[in-house]
Amino acid sequence: MRSSRQTRRRTVAAVVATAGALVAMAAVPAAAASRAGNVAVQTFAGKCLDVDGASPSNDTPIIQYRCNGRSNQRFTFQSIGDGEVQIETFADKCLDVRSGSHEDGAGVIQYACNGQANQRFIVQPLGDGEVLFLTSAGKCLDVAGESPADGARIIQNTCTGLFSQRFSIG
């Protein structure tokens, strides 16, 4: 009888742990909306968002690159209210749509955090662990040219649902 109770307790504990893990996975965008630190963002190509060359300088492009676990591929999501986040880099700078552009193809860079609209993003869950990043221009972050190559720039584009606009946080 005792071993049966222990088995049930272990089974219940395993079910609770599994349910907790599933809730945590589903809450990635919610975690991003409050404060999630030191996380990688993967592109459709299984590559990571990357501060090009690990440069700490303003105007450094954000690209996709083979995931390597280095600090320039880790980001912190900070809630700034109204469902928006600013995404901070290893250099204590923010992802920024260059020059506050509302145009398709505008590059995403790192720049000193200044609270302007072009540094505000909405993380929109799509299911299956994927998200869209919406810019203040109502556009989506996108891998330029739908390229799977290392070094492809991250840009903003009209949201189309293409695979190159889908990212995962983790």
Going by pLDDT thresholds of 50, 70 and 90, the confidence category of residue 97 is very high
Per-residue pLDDT tens over the stretch 49-86: 999 999 999 999 999 999 999 999 999 999 999 999 99
What CA–CA distance (Å, rounded) separates 102 from 120? 13
Per-residue pLDDT tens over the stretch 105-163: 999 999 999 999 999 999 999 989 999 999 999 999 999 999 999 999 999 999 999 99
Q: What is the pTM of this model?
A: 0.80
The whole-number pLDDT of residue 17 equals 31
CB atoms within 10 A of CB 95: 27
